[in-house]
Amino acid sequence: MGGDEKTLISKFKASNNIDEKMDILFSMKKFKSISEDTKNTLVKAYKEEKGSKVQIVILELLLKYNDARSRDLIKDYLQGENKN
């Protein structure tokens, strides 16, 4: 899937299909950096995607782009896994 960051994040927000969301997130990995708005959208989506494989790819992106919140989100994810 191609497109610039704004196009991809708009498609991501509009999608209800997990496979499409995954394709979009994998496409975003090609960018050298992402905007703070996109990071904020991904953090919000992370919280909405509890228990989904989308959550893992969001964590990967936030780590790749050195988002300061990624460490807390990983801790949150691991604590959730320990409860299951």
| Segment 3-62, tens digit of pLDDT | 899 999 999 999 999 999 999 999 999 999 999 999 999 999 998 988 889 999 999 999
Per-residue tokens: 32: 């050298």
Residue-averaged pLDDT of the chain: 88
Q: What percent of the chain has pLDDT over 90?
A: 61
Question: Could you tell me the CA-to-CA distances from 13 to 5, 33, 71 in Å, in that order?
Answer: 12, 19, 23
Per-residue tokens: 39: 């990071």
Domains identified in the chain, total number: 1
Q: What is the pTM of this model?
A: 0.81
Host domain of residue 13 = 5-83
The CA distance from 84 to 36, in Å, is 32
CA 6 to centroid of chain Cα atoms: 14
